[in-house]
Homo-oligomer: A and B are copies of this chain.
Amino acid sequence: MSAVDYIKDNKQKFLDELFDLLRIPSVSADPAYKNDVLKTAEFVKESLEKAGVDKAEICKTAGYPIVYGEKMVDPNLPTVLVYGHYDVQPADPLELWDSPAFEPVIKNDKIYARGACDDKGQMYMHVKAFEAMMNTGGVACNVKFMIEGEEEVGSENLEIFVKENREKLAADVILISDTSMISLDTPSITVGLRGLSYLQVEVTGPNRDLHSGVYGGAVANPINELCKMIASLKDDKNRITIPGFYDKVAELTADERKALNEAPFDLDEYKKDLNIEDISGEDGYTTLERSGIRPTLDVNGIWGGYIGEGAKTVLPSKAYAKISMRLVPNQVSDEITELFEKHFKSIAPKSVKVKVTPHHGGEPAVTPTDSVAYAAASDAFVEAWGKEPIPTRDGGSIPIVSLFKEELGLDTVLMGFGLDSDAIHSPNEHYGVTNFMKGIETITLFYKHFAAKSKN
């Protein structure tokens, strides 16, 4: 039987298993879910064993463990290192979910659950593709799996793990499915990713909450001041005002920008999908460029003062914000974090105190399109989807891509099967059953083509 047939025959089994995986709330950002995250690691280890690896292990770290598994077929064959993550984003705001985040359901051929796409669904495709190959004549390459549980909180311990296990992780290419494709009609391969700097700021005015009548107008209000400071971080062209922020930003050539903008994109559809009257971004760039090749600054959360029912006339002592910047080549996360911290403190008025706490970061990355692995991935898409995939720049971040290049000297192929409309990191995250099934098939084809091309 062919791997493709095996996949078709086992569709229901694959979905049932994925549902079991999705039911475990592995939220790495919130300590309350610690046991669930650990349970998920166990689940992944067992699923690798069932799929047919020689050995699978749970590798302890200072944080959540990394699940490692391998199938060494023949030292002369090329080796593929599969990376994925089993942790998920927090599910809140819970009230905006149409069905519970951790009770997966299928509606119009889509799987709804936190992690359905990012990244449990896409990670699990690799386990099932491996199982399919093992049950239909074997894998054409050696395979190593490295599935972590801290991607959504910065992959700090993965970095240490990679540095300490260079030999164990030796491979010819890294294969990741944690990105999206343009559409079911237009397959694509991500060749660029943005980096990230994530910080939290705290602005303190008076040492206690004050009556806004008794003190209002005479004492700095930390919320008003925080708003002023945040507003000043962008100019009227929506360019970020932090000195030195753009110094290392790689400008694309006219041709590169032209190619980038040839990807199918319907602005009206885009606005309709988000129900917005107008888009907004840096002057002089298209939407694809703004989200693909330009850096950003977004407030991801803000809070301070009275946020309960009704009205409270308080002049609060403190205000907070979580702020993240997406970075592009050749910006360096730590440098940008430092520039932000320095600038943010410099614009604070004497009437308030400011604390800046860096959360986590990651470097931007660009993957080559002239490698054997990219060609194999491209052929796999052509065979499964009948179309040549378009190389795209994604706005998201997978910090470990640049880490792998640095520490292991390996390029990555970002074979993503999600859609931007999958609402990852949002309520009602979902993942197409078609994407899931066809993705598994595409992955098996990648191994075939990669082995063949590696011979030449």
Residues in chain A within 8 A of chain B (CB atoms): 28-31, 89-90, 92-93, 96, 152-154, 180, 194, 196, 198, 200, 205-221, 223-224, 226-228, 230-232, 234, 274-282, 287, 290-291, 294-316, 319-322, 324, 326, 349-353, 359-360, 394-397, 420, 423-428
Contact = CB atoms under 8 A, between A and B. Distances in A.
Contacts of A282: 217
Given A206-B274, A213-B326, A359 B310 contact: yes
A300 B212 contact: yes
A347 to B, nearest CB: 12
Given A231-B227, A231-B228, A210 B425 contact: yes
B90 A308 contact: yes
Contact of A209 (B96, B277, B308, B314): B96
Contacts of A213: 194, 196, 326, 394-397
B154 A311 contact: yes
Contacts of A291: 214-218
Nearest to A225: B280
B296 A301 contact: no
Contacts of A287: 218
Given A90-B308, A90-B312, A310-B359, A424 B227 contact: no
A302 B298 contact: no
A290 to B, nearest CB: 4
Contacts of A153: 310-311
Contact of A302 (B302, B311, B396): B302
A302 B300 contact: no
A28 to B, nearest CB: 8
Closest 10 CB pairs of A and B: A213-B396, A29-B310, A217-B296, A301-B305, A231-B231, A220-B280, A207-B275, A280-B351, A278-B350, A223-B299
Nearest to A29: B310
A90 to B, nearest CB: 6
B301 A302 contact: no
A290 B219 CA distance: 9
A91 B226 CA distance: 24
A315 B360 CA distance: 17
A281 B217 contact: yes
A96 B208 CA distance: 9
A426 B209 contact: yes
A281 B352 CA distance: 13
Contact of A298 (B216, B232, B295, B351): B216
